[in-house]
Chains A and B, each alone.
Chain A
Amino acid sequence: GEDVEQSLFLSVREGDSSVINCTYTDSSSTYLYWYKQEPGAGLQLLTYIFSNMDMKQDQRLTVLLNKKDKHLSLRIADTQTGDSAIYFCAESPAGAGNNRKLIWGLGTSLAVNP
């Protein structure tokens, strides 16, 4: 079935780059997403990538997509303490009736140490 996997924890030093990884199983997925959740808050869409792209850059964020390996990564350059949050990977399956739902990973908790 459909599944999205992420490592649960990542710890980095302030100023370093963070790389959060995600693997998914549905090769028909059209869009893949990264969401950020700060403590006690809802989820905020950070960025997304269309499945025919390899890379997308948006300021400090770089998304890399390897469709062959079904691997998605989010790189945060110059990580700041304000980047401490849970980061969720999600895919949008292309099957009929499925385009309304996203499949979610469990989230990676990023801790940024001063």
Chain B
Amino acid sequence: DVKVTQSSRYLVKRTGEKVFLECVQDMDHENMFWYRQDPGLGLRLIYFSYDVKMKEKGDIPEGYSVSREKKERFSLILESASTNQTSMYLCASRPTGTYGYTFGSGTRLTVV
């Protein structure tokens, strides 16, 4: 069964910490995405990557960076976590073309 795996379901971090959220897919998809999901705001795209070492800003990249050193892994980095980054983070991958995304189970991050 094809999968997108996010390394943590729940994380609690302190303000100012550097936070790494990891995502791995086993489908050889070119495209990978990081979203955050907040009540009433739906899914908002943070960053996406369409190839190894390639990245593009989404709609809300401020306060985040990403890394894609290998095709299967896409990391989201919060350089200095703040309380307004408390959210559900969803990773997804998609093959090039017009097929839908496959999502991970999400990481619920709380910044205290």
Residues of A within 8 A of B (CB): 30-31, 33, 35, 40-45, 48, 88, 90, 92, 99-102, 104-107
Q: 8 Å CB contacts to A: which residues of B12-57? A: 31, 33, 40-43, 45, 48, 50
Interface residues of B (CB under 8 A from A): 4, 31, 33, 40-43, 45, 48, 50, 58, 90, 92, 94, 96-106, 108
Closest 6 CB pairs of A and B: A42-B103, A106-B42, A45-B100, A43-B103, A104-B43, A42-B105
Q: Which of A42, A104, A106 contacts B104 (CB 8 A)?
A: A42
Question: Roughly how many angstroms separate A35 CA and B37 CA in the complex, as a whole number?
Answer: 14
List A contacts of B108 (CB < 8 A): 40
- Chain B residues with CB under 8 A of A104: 42-43
CB distance from B51 to the nearest CB of A (A): 10
Task: Decide: A31 and B48 in contact? CB cutoff 8 A.
Answer: no
Closest residue of B by beta carbon distance from A4: B42
In addition to A100-B94, A106-B41, 4 A-B residue pairs with Cβ atoms within 8 Å of each other are A31-B99, A43-B43, A45-B100, A100-B50
Contact A43 B96 (CB under 8 A): no
The reply to whether A33 and B106 form a contact with Cβ atoms under 8 Å apart is no
Residue on A nearest B94 in the bound complex, by CB: A100
CA distance A92 to B97 in the complex (A): 10
Bound CA–CA A68/B97 (angstroms)? 24
Give the complex CA separation of A106 and B101 in angstroms. 17
The chain B residue with its CB closest to the CB of A102 is: B101
Q: Closest B residue to A90 by CB, please name it.
A: B100
Q: Which residues of A contact B41 (CB under 8 A)?
A: 106
* B48, B96, B98, B105 pick with most chain A CB within 10 angstroms: B98
Nearest-CB distance from B55 to chain A (Å)? 12
Cross-chain contact of A88 among B43, B94, B97, B104 (Cβ < 8 A): B43
